[in-house]
Structure 1
Amino acid sequence: MPLRLRLTLAFAAIMALVVGGLGTFVYLRLAAELDQAIAAELGASTAQLAVVAREEADELGKPGENELVERGEKYDQFLTPSGGLVDASPLARKVQLLDPRRLARVSAGEEVTFDRPEDAGLSERLRVRAKRVAAGDRPLVAVVAVSLLEHDEGLSSLAALLLLGGPVAVLLASAAGYGLATAALRPVEAMRRRAAAISPSEPGKRLPVPRPRDEVRRLGETLNEMLARQEEAFERERRFVADASHELRTPLAVLKAEVDLALRRSRSPEELVDALRSAREETDRLARLAEDLLVIARSDQGRLPVRPEPVELASVLTHLSNRFAPRFEEGGRDLTIDVDGLVVSADRLRLEQAVGNLMDNALRHGRGRVRLWADEDGEDRVRVHVSDDGPGFSADFLPSAFERFTRADPARSRGGTGLGLAIVEAIARAHGGAVRAERGEGGGADVWIALPRVRPPRPSRETVEV
């Protein structure tokens, strides 16, 4: 069932309850007001008959003009306690207003009020009140009655008006509610149609947003922001796949070319060994690329496994300097370490991988001395720096330094996969840390990774009493 129809039905149900409740209240209120007016009229008539009985006791029942005759449009009677008619107004002379049972109750001193229905001798409903009065030294029963014709006609007219006008009002209000719901949901329907037409092949399309600054507009703006994030993620994944395909294609092409050349004609043992060495280098490059891609994929899924533990930076950096020593000697580069007993909370293998990537980056793209050092950032974290004396990063490259397959050298002439800094960022993020690349104070590149610091426990003090 459409939402606007459900809203209309709910609105109609609420309106029906409101109209029904209001109509019932008005009806009961009018009935109460009419009953109060009739009760006041009966009370006044009963009091007048009591005065007549007291002041004109000797005239009651005698022919001629008296108070009851003057009340020709009223239903008034004087009865004896046994039910005999003493006197009555013209309208009440041939009508029995009080039955024996109620007569006995009134004769006993009780005042009764009741509604008398229509019958053969009476063409309208009456409301009757009977009360015992004194006429000189004899007791009488004064009976007064008021017609309920206007009372009944008024309530009947009101009931007919409510029964006719109530449903009409509900229908009109429901139609107006349906129109309002349709108008309110029209922007949502427009957004739905546009969303159904948006496809990945047509980037940049957005949902139409209504002008009024209401909830629907905020919904449209939020969905457009989500579409922008999705497009950005899709474009990032597309570039990732394209770059990964390019990176995989290059070593595979080289590997295939080496094998084809080795098989094309007879080769000497030395030439076959050279071909196998070249193939091994390309295979190693493929293995590194596959491992890097796996780290990036796990990081994107938030599942890069790390096992933080207290790690001494001096031990890690010394181990890495020994591992990279042959490459530094081969390139004629110097390496210095400046760490003063700092301890961080990190996964040792992942930390070695991150710092090793930074050292490899400094060897490939930097010049001069490479320096490994650490400092504190004031947020209870330790920053591990890898800096060199080379030309440093260009201002255009710094904002995208940690993006995947991004190289400071666009010609890609120095090897590498373009994933080194991206992996460093992924490892830092997995540890709850941060990374940054910047130009050093004296020139060159300075890349650091910040990790939580572990402070050694304070020595306990023992008090010895002598």
Structure 2
Amino acid sequence: MPVKLRITLLFCLISFVILAMVCATVYYFSYTQRSHNIRTRLTNRAITLARLLGQSQVFDQQILRKIDSSTSLTLKDKTFQAYDYLNNQIYSYSDAPADTLTIDTSILDDARVKGTIFFNTANKEAVAYHYANPNTRIVVITAAYDAEGKAQLRVLRNILWFSFLTGILIACVGGYFFSDRLLQPVKKIADDINEISAHNLARRISTGTAKDEWFYLAETLNRLMNRLQDSFETQRRFVSNASHELSTPLTAISSQLEVSLQKSREAQQYRVVMESVYQDVRQLSKLTQTLLEFAQASGDPGGINLEPVRMDEILMSLPAELKKSNPEYLVNLSFDDMPAEEQKLIVFGNAELLFTAVKNIVTNACKYSDDHKATVKLKAEAENITISITDKGKGIPEAELKYIFQPFYRVNSTAHKSGFGLGLSLANRIVKLHKGNIAVSSVMEEGSEFVITVPTAKF
């Protein structure tokens, strides 16, 4: 069922319940008020008649009948009867001569006990009133058909039915147009989204000026589109740069082999070509391995094996590992603020990925420092572990700091050094997977400092 129709039906249902309750309440109180009025009038007439009958020496029955016939109670088919304490009828009057009431003795007995009782008889409403004085003890019955009151109730009922049905019709029509207007922003948002594709990611949804829920939805979707656009652009640059980096050694290998096969050569010449090709293959293999690590670090944390890891143990493996890659590299470890509790040194993560992240930054620090040295400091805080890596290199220009974590980006001053421009980007992805962050500061001709912050494991 369309949302527009569901909203319309819900609106109609709510209106139905409200109108039904209002109309029923109005009719109920009108009905009870009519009953109260007729009973009050009948009771007053019964009291008056009883007092007149109690003065039989002044008012005889003929006079009372003339009074009753001339009294206008705006009641139809009036009937008045009176009974003595032996249940003998001592007085009767009715608008129609043949119209008499058959009263059960139990009604008379109840009236003598309760004083006044109300009952219905022969399509009439009646009151039995017990009147007693030192000389008289009688029960007066007054009954009548409330034609005017019931006619007013019928008119009121018709008005309420008309109002109820008209209100429901208006509610249904109004609900339909209301739901249509309510869902117009959603339709507009959907239309705008349908026009956005991978080739048109720059387009955004119109948010309007009203700061309402639709504005919040459009803003949220626009922020999502911004993230998607950044991801697409990053992926596009990554694919382009990766293709270029992969094609360079492949082209060199192909060219060297093609030249060497054009004519016969001596064994030494073939050996030189093979050594050059071997270097290119190693470069290609290293690039491929780096790309695989980058792809792994760009994945979902749920697909990575995470376990409690001690950061100090990871850092202690750095000096020997960097010595293997370059004997000139020197790493100074500083664990000055070691906590007494072992838990403060443990993070929940993947040891190999964390080691790769720190190693990449430390390798860069050693590579771009004139003395090929890097200082690594470990500090455990209340909820985080901080690793700072400093060097005394040339520094990074401030204008380029915001780009250094992009894949394949290389600072202009270091373009002559070997590398792919993936180390910092890979380290940043790994730290992000561990819910941490990397901050960098640099002073030209003095050096740079990278600060890695990761949350400690919660036990």
Give the SS at the match of 1:96. coil
- Flag structure 2 segments of 5+ consecutive residues without an equivalent: 72-77, 339-344
Partner of residue 400 from structure 1, selected from 398, 403, 426? 403
Equivalence for 1:361: 364
Give the SS at the match of 2:375. strand
What is the 5 A alignment of 1:51-450?
51-56=51-56, 60-61=60-61, 63=62, 66-72=63-69, 73=71, 74-79=78-83, 86-89=90-93, 91=95, 93-100=97-104, 105=109, 112-117=117-122, 125-131=123-129, 133=131, 141-301=139-299, 302=301, 303=303, 308-309=309-310, 311=312, 315-320=316-321, 322-326=323-327, 328=328, 336-340=330-334, 350=353, 353-354=356-357, 356-358=359-361, 360-362=363-365, 366=368, 368-375=370-377, 379=381, 381-389=385-393, 391-409=394-412, 412-430=415-433, 433-440=436-443, 443-450=445-452
Deviates more, 1:443-452 or 1:47-56: 443-452
8 Å contact kept, 2:111–2:117: no
8 Å contact kept, 1:109–1:131: no
Give the SS at the match of 1:397. helix
Identity level (%): 21
Counterpart CA distance in 2 for 1:405 and 1:211 is 41
8 Å contact kept, 2:290–2:422: yes
8 Å contact kept, 1:60–1:87: no
8 Å contact kept, 2:360–2:427: yes
Q: Please state how far the C-alpha of 1:363 moved relative to its aligned partner.
A: 6.2
Which one-letter code corresponds to 1:94 in the other structure?
A: A
Equivalence for 1:332: none
Counterpart CA distance in 1 for 2:157 and 2:296 is 75
Q: Please state how far the C-alpha of 1:404 moved relative to its aligned partner.
A: 0.8
8 Å contact kept, 2:440–2:449: yes
Q: Deviations over 1:372-426 (max 9, x none)?
A: 213356846453525244x322222211112111011399554321112222323
Give the SS at the match of 1:71. helix
8 Å contact kept, 1:354–1:423: yes
Which one-letter code corresponds to 2:447 in the other structure?
A: A
Q: Please state how far the C-alpha of 1:77 moved relative to its aligned partner.
A: 2.9
Equivalence for 1:464: none
Cα pair distance change 1:437/1:14, threshold 3 Å: closer
8 Å contact kept, 2:94–2:100: no
Q: Please state how far the C-alpha of 1:430 moved relative to its aligned partner.
A: 4.8
Q: Please state how far the C-alpha of 1:230 moved relative to its aligned partner.
A: 0.9
Q: Deviations over 1:269-313 (max 9, x none)?
A: 111111111121111112111111111111111355566235458
Q: Deviations over 1:221-246 (max 9, x none)?
A: 11111111111111111111111111
Which one-letter code corresponds to 1:426 in the other structure?
A: R
Cα pair distance change 1:41/1:392, threshold 3 Å: same
- Flag structure 1 segments of 5+ consecutive residues without an equivalent: 118-124, 329-334, 455-466
Equivalence for 2:75: none
Counterpart CA distance in 2 for 1:136 and 1:87 is 20
| TM-score relative to the length of structure 2 | 0.82
Counterpart CA distance in 2 for 1:128 and 1:369 is 118
Give the SS at the match of 1:155. helix
Q: Please state how far the C-alpha of 1:175 moved relative to its aligned partner.
A: 1.9
Which one-letter code corresponds to 1:113 in the other structure?
A: F
Report the number of matched residues.
434
What is the 5 A alignment of 1:8-87?
8-56=8-56, 60-61=60-61, 63=62, 66-72=63-69, 73=71, 74-79=78-83, 86-87=90-91
| TM-score relative to the length of structure 1 | 0.81
Counterpart CA distance in 2 for 1:353 and 1:59 is 121
Which one-letter code corresponds to 2:266 in the other structure?
A: S
Cα pair distance change 1:247/1:139, threshold 3 Å: same
Equivalence for 2:341: none
Counterpart CA distance in 2 for 1:220 and 1:107 is 76
